[in-house]
Amino acid sequence: MVSEKTVMPTQAQAELAVSEQMVPLSDAMKEFRAQMHLYKAGIRTVEMKLQTLDEEFHAKYDYNPIHHIETRLKEPRSIFKKMERLGVSGTIGEMKRALTDIAGVRVICNYISDTKTVAEMLLRQDDVVLVRKSDYIHEPKESGYRSLHLVVTVPVYLSERMERVPVEVQIRTIAMDCWASLEHHLRYKAEGEIPEDLRYRLRICAMAIAEVDAEMQEIKRAVDRNAP
């Protein structure tokens, strides 16, 4: 078990700990690395569930609602920065309580309706527990960002116990992902601060992309109605 009072290793130590190359490891590093492996297992669990659901949907309806899946394990430097920003003490117990996005799965769908389909299929599974839902598709962020975020917990079975692991699942269309990826790249180049006039232009782009998404959805419905 991870001790509530175990102080996390420093950022540099943590990065070495998860690299599998630092021997011997301190107890804090071992616990940090073990926790990272749990998050990796949680990612694999969610990814496998989504792939299975997508394949089943195709077998039933000859259509895949999922275009592709991306996964991400938050890097130690990002974990440390977020804990610092949140004012959270540097223990592994606090990290587990405060951060629910260390393990991430991004699901890219073709159409807006597919995002709802995928979310409903995933949440119908008995061992998937919904912790939080943020619908930025119907209520976009001020920046223009659109996506459906689910924080779920899934069971990870270890040699001596089962532990529920939180995974953040982001479900969005190809168009939404295009905007989000480019906006992230621009924000990174601007070191986090984009001037207001450029933020306004990004919001305009987000609105235009949203209109394209809606129009593509309507075209799909028309094609489906006219299909033999």
- Structural domains of the chain sorted by starting position, each given as residue range(s) with its CATH number in brackets: 11-174 (3.30.460.10)
Q: What is the pLDDT of residue 187?
A: 82
pTM: 0.87
Tokens 């990826």 correspond to 181
- Residue 88: the pLDDT is 86
Please report, to the nearest 10 degrees, the dihedral formed by the alpha carbons of residues 14, 18, 24, 28 taken in order: 50
Whole-Å CA distances, 204 to 146, 199, 201:
13, 9, 5
Q: What is the pLDDT along the chain (228 residues), one digit of tens a residue?
A: 444 455 666 665 565 555 544 445 577 888 899 999 999 999 999 999 999 999 999 999 999 999 999 999 999 989 988 999 999 887 888 999 999 999 999 999 999 999 999 999 999 999 999 999 999 999 999 999 999 999 999 999 999 999 999 999 999 999 999 999 999 889 877 776 788 999 999 999 999 999 999 999 999 999 999 887
- DSSP state, residue 108: E
Query: Cβ–Cβ contacts within 10 Å for residue 22, how many?
Result: 15
CA distance linking residue 17 with residue 34, whole number of Å: 10
d(Cα 223, Cα 206) in Å, to the nearest integer?
26
Catalytic residue among 168, 183, 215, 218: 168
How far is it, in rounded angstroms, from Cα 17 to Cα 11?
10
pLDDT value of position 1: 42
168 is annotated as an active-site residue: yes
Residue 163 and residue 109: Cα distance in Å, rounded? Answer: 30
> How far is the CA of 48 from the CAs of 79, 102, 105, 173, in angstroms?
25, 18, 11, 20
For residue 140, whether the previous peptide bond is cis, meaning omega lies within 30 degrees of 0, is no
